[in-house]
Structure 1
């Protein structure tokens, strides 16, 4: 079964599916908070069924190739990373008029179930970073920002109080330090994910936009002269195909509920510990 219900319904509907003995592919995020996500992950593990989460950017072939490069040791020890998810629908009508369409307005309102850009696309760029780096987040600090978008920051029934931009500093379990950020105010970027990983032997960059995806690397002798080369990669199967294969084989596959719960723990931590920047 594929669960494509709204975020707030993922917990109740998925738990019912598991109790009914169904294999489940759930849309991201797994839940709206870590408590629910952890309960879902535990129930999934106990069920013996195939359970996965549709983190769609796992379908990006350069991201899969980047992870292999890291795990193969081609970059050496990862020291620094930069991950960004840039959207511009608050300053562009390329996807429609957000001031008049509910499909956008609810994403700006906490009472309509939104956790802002952090919950909407933050989970994507967080997974993008930790998957490629092959390491989970160990420590993090964050800043969330809500910008004024209309008189009183309200349009009709929608209070526009969900975060529009988030900034996170993080250290991974492998010791790498870096930044993860996302915004809906990135003029000139319709929907761009970008990741840079820097190791003590080499570096790579993955870029994904509506026009396509690329992987570049600077490694070996090229590192001395900072020469970057494009790497061609083969297509990969989608999450839906992996899920179907896993069900046929009766074997679990990733991204699973346990991983998604870990991501939700980081997102919850970002909200709970978000602080104001110190004025100079």
Structure 2
């Protein structure tokens, strides 16, 4: 199987590394509008050819699938071009910047019978996979409540670099540079983390967004710092469970941490995932009377990269699909609408 890496920024290195490690996969080409960057990227990952545009790569055409690692606002046109050229697509999150474009991408992929997946990376967390299995087995009983959070501190700490001077961070704070803030950037992850682990999709949501002052006139150079920094959402799932979801880049002391708690009438579980470890705790059976929580050992699971290759080889799309990401995008869009309207909306 031959894969084209579209976009050669930081995350593209992860795509190249993971795909190259899969037996039978060849990195056939790399694409970037910056000639020096694509040349360096291809040399670093032993990639056969470099291209300055997707059009040039598609004209060559000697590959089976595209790993789309372009900026968020470019996902739609580039994915559509790849699909119309008959290529399977593995797209970075979010699938698109709005529900309408995501729907068109999904319908196109499905109409053409092409494999499509979105790299919701926390599906690679074995503890989350096990949590979903526990919920679906009925061990927790009827799920009543859930809590989910995604906490980052890069607006406080320089551990990831200095956002005040580095454009790789500044664009994430600016609407005109394609950012939908923390809601669009990491909100997509925690919404998926919550619903996947809790075993049910959204039915109703209400979201509040906040953009805090970060510089004089909230501007640095060409960047207007107007994208949201934090969100807090109340949500009800199709299974009736009520819960809260929140995320922030101002979470001092938390480099990159996701947490999910699911409470049922027969038991509960908690998933903790950080950049350096993951843990799953359960409170089941007689332990619910004493409040004792037990850590559960979980074996590794296949990564999204491995599952995409498996899907291409079988010809059948696996989750997380474009269709699933489109449903998540609808909730993200509603988050902005509910903040504007100051009222709950049905999904």
Task: Please give the range of the TM-score, normalised by the shorter of the 2 chains.
Answer: over 0.9
CA separation in 2, counterparts of 1:37 and 1:276?
23
Scaled by the length of structure 1, what TM-score is found? 0.98
Out of 164, 168, 172, which is 1:107 matched to?
Answer: 172
Moved more, 266-275 or 172-181: 266-275
Out of 100, 115, 121, which is 1:35 matched to?
Answer: 100
Superposed CA deviations along residues 1-60 of structure 1, whole A, max 9, x for unmatched, are: 211111111111111111111111111000000000011111111111111000000000
CA separation in 2, counterparts of 1:198 and 1:143?
24
Out of 246, 250, 254, which is 2:315 matched to?
Answer: 250
Out of 234, 249, 261, which is 2:299 matched to?
Answer: 234
Could you say what the CA RMSD is over the residues aligned between the two structures, in angstroms? 1.2
CA separation in 2, counterparts of 1:49 and 1:109?
34
| Equivalent position of 1:138 in the other structure | 203
Q: 1:109-188, aligned counterparts within 5 Å? A: 109-188=174-253
| Equivalent position of 1:11 in the other structure | 76
| Equivalent position of 1:265 in the other structure | 330
Deviation at 1:210, TM superposition (A): 1.2
CA separation in 2, counterparts of 1:65 and 1:251?
23
Out of 163, 184, 198, which is 1:98 matched to?
Answer: 163
Structure 2: runs of 5+ lacking an equivalent: 1-65
CA separation in 1, counterparts of 2:305 and 2:339?
35
CA separation in 2, counterparts of 1:8 and 1:148?
25
Counting matched residue pairs gives: 278
Deviation at 1:273, TM superposition (A): 1.5
Q: Which has the higher contact order (CA 8 A, sep 6+)?
A: 1
CA separation in 1, counterparts of 2:332 and 2:127?
25
Q: In structure 2, the residue corresponding to 1:274 is in which secondary structure?
A: helix
Q: Which stretches of structure 1, 4 residues or more, deviate above 4 A after TM superposition?
A: 275-278
Contact 1:108–1:159 (CA under 8 A) maintained in structure 2: yes
Structure 1: runs of 5+ lacking an equivalent: none
CA separation in 1, counterparts of 2:331 and 2:342?
20
CA separation in 1, counterparts of 2:275 and 2:317?
30
Q: In structure 2, the residue corresponding to 1:197 is in which secondary structure?
A: strand
CA separation in 1, counterparts of 2:125 and 2:187?
17
Q: In structure 2, the residue corresponding to 1:142 is in which secondary structure?
A: strand
Superposed CA deviations along residues 206-225 of structure 1, whole A, max 9, x for unmatched, are: 01101110000001111111
Contact 1:143–1:276 (CA under 8 A) maintained in structure 2: no
Scaled by the length of structure 2, what TM-score is found? 0.79
Deviation at 1:146, TM superposition (A): 0.5
CA separation in 1, counterparts of 2:167 and 2:222?
10
| Equivalent position of 2:288 in the other structure | 223
2:153 is aligned with 1:88: yes
Out of 134, 140, 153, which is 1:75 matched to?
Answer: 140
